[in-house]
């Protein structure tokens, strides 16, 4: 059985090495290459000393953190509402909240431009009703965050809804019988029972937002830029392959930090169970 198990694992392991490990190693090696063909940290030094690159990093982290927080709040609220309520509104939410997943990101982003742009549908209706010109909503941080909400809320709600469906009704009813309020029930029972899935959701949303390209490219500002857009500009416009590799590897490190906390939490949970 041991040999058979090993043979079954080897194809997946080799695929992981070829598609993930090898490109990471190549990118890291490329990021250490200077203009003279030697190896040093000049590309990474540029990331943190150049004013524009620093602003890109800060802007990316701000968009990512804000997006993650808002996505979690809205998704958890929707999932909890569907879990503990019934009625037409719940049925409507169940039938509708998954629709954005099946709309391609380019189409969804174009739709946001048509809806929220300076000459979009909302702006036209506001003017027709006698209102003033709308403030700029897209082509800055707000536009990217709105797009991230559209892309990430359905999947996150699905994950959290699955976790909440596993919370036994008997626990909730027992807590109510002893006089526990809704907030206490949530903090002491519901949140601990769904913490693992919540951490998975945070990890997926964080990695998805920090590495996003389509929405930041189409409805983001010209400066500062998300790291994905900045990397494309460095590689495609300025033809600086080494600096683009440094940006890519730095983005990978940011995602690795999030992955580290997730794996560490899972290891602690398994050790407590054993």
Domain range annotation of the chain: 50-108+136-273
Q: Render pLDDT for 202-233 as a digit per residue (tens, 0 to 9).
A: 999 999 999 899 999 999 988 899 999 999 99
In the predicted model, is pLDDT for residue 268 greater than 80? no
Least confident of 64-68, 98-102, 154-158, 270-274: 270-274
Short-list 254, 223, 194, 253, CA closest to 64: 254
User: What mean pLDDT do residues 55-60 have?
Assistant: 96
User: What mean pLDDT do residues 177-192 have?
Assistant: 84
Q: Hey, which residues does 39 pair with through a beta bridge?
A: 33
Confidence at residue 231, expressed as pLDDT on a 0 to 100 scale: 93
In the predicted model, is pLDDT for residue 272 greater than 70? no
Confidence at residue 2, expressed as pLDDT on a 0 to 100 scale: 63
User: What mean pLDDT do residues 67-90 have?
Assistant: 92
Confidence at residue 33, expressed as pLDDT on a 0 to 100 scale: 92
What span, in angstroms and rounded, lies between the C-alpha atoms of 112 and 118?
Answer: 11
User: What mean pLDDT do residues 16-29 have?
Assistant: 88
Confidence at residue 154, expressed as pLDDT on a 0 to 100 scale: 93
In the predicted model, is pLDDT for residue 66 greater than 80? yes
Q: Which long-range contacts (CB under 8 A, 24 or more apart) does 53-62 make?
A: 53/230, 55/223, 55/224, 56/224, 56/225, 56/226, 56/227, 56/230, 57/227, 57/250, 58/224, 59/141, 59/224, 59/225, 59/226, 60/210, 60/226, 60/227, 61/210, 61/254, 62/141
Q: What is the pTM of this model?
A: 0.88
User: What mean pLDDT do residues 248-255 have?
Assistant: 92
**Dihedral of alpha carbons 127, 131, 132, 135, sign:** negative
What pLDDT band is residue 172 in, cutting at 50, 70 and 90? confident
Q: Render pLDDT for 88-140 as a digit per residue (tens, 0 to 9).
A: 999 998 888 888 888 998 999 999 988 888 777 888 887 777 777 677 788 88
CATH number among 1.10.3720.10, 1.10.240.10, 2.60.120.280, 3.30.420.40, domain 50-108+136-273 = 1.10.3720.10
Q: Which long-range contacts (CB under 8 A, 24 or more apart) does 16-22 make?
A: none
Q: Render pLDDT for 24-50 as a digit per residue (tens, 0 to 9).
A: 899 999 999 988 888 999 999 999 999
What are the residues whose beta carbons fall under 8 Å from the beta carbon of 189, sequence distance 6 or more?
167, 171, 172, 175
Confidence at residue 192, expressed as pLDDT on a 0 to 100 scale: 87
Task: Give the number of residues written for the chain.
Answer: 274
Helix/strand/coil (H/E/C) assignment for every residue in the chain:
CHHHHHHHHHHHHHHHHHHHHHHHHHHHHHHCECCCCCECCHHHHHHHHCHHHHHHHHHHHHHHHHHHHHHHHHHHHHHHHHHHCCCHHHHHHHHHCCHHHHCCHHHHHHHHHHHHCCCCHHHHHHHHCCCCCCCCCCCCHHHHHHHHHHHHHHHHHHHHHHHHHCCCHHHHHHHHHCCCCHHHHHHHHHHHHHHHHHHHHHHHHHHHHHCCCHHHHHHCCCCCCCHHHHHHHHHHCCCCHHHHHHHHHHHHHHHHHHHHHHHHHHHHHHHHHC
pLDDT averaged over the chain? 88
Short-list 3, 74, 15, 45, CA closest to 250: 45
Position with higher pLDDT, 42 vs 16: 42
In the predicted model, is pLDDT for residue 274 greater than 80? no
In the predicted model, is pLDDT for residue 146 greater than 60? yes
Confidence at residue 269, expressed as pLDDT on a 0 to 100 scale: 67
């Amino acid at each position: 059985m041991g040999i058979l198990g090993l043979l079954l694992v080897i194809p997946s392991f080799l695929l992981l090495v070829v598609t993930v490990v090898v490109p990471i190693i190549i990118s890291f090696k490329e990021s250490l290459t200077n203009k003279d063909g030697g190896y040093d940290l000049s590309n990474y030094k540029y990331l943190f000393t150049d004013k524009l690159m620093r602003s890109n990093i800060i802007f990316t982290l701000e968009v990512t953190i804000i997006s993650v927080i808002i996505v979690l709040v809205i998704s958890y609220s929707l999932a909890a509402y569907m879990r503990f309520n019934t009625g037409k509104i719940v049925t409507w939410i169940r039938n509708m909240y998954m629709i954005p997943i099946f709309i391609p990101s380019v189409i969804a982003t174009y739709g946001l431009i048509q809806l929220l742009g300076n000459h979009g549908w909302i702006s036209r209706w506001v003017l027709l009703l006698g209102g003033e010109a709308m403030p700029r909503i897209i082509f800055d941080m707000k536009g990217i965050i709105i797009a991230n909400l559209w892309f990430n809320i359905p999947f996150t709600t699905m994950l959290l809804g699955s976790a909440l469906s596993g919370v036994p009704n008997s626990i909730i009813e027992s807590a109510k019988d002893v006089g526990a309020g809704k907030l206490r029930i949530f903090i002491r029972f519901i949140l601990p029972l769904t913490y693992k899935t919540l951490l998975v959701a945070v990890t997926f949303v964080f990695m998805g937002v920090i590495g996003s390209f389509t929405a930041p490219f189409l409805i983001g500002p010209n400066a500062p830029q998300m790291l994905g857009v900045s990397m494309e500009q460095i590689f495609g416009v300025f033809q600086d392959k080494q600096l683009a590799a440094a940006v890519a590897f730095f983005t990978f490190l940011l995602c690795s930090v999030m992955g580290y906390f997730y794996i560490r939490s899972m290891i602690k949970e398994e050790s407590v169970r054993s």
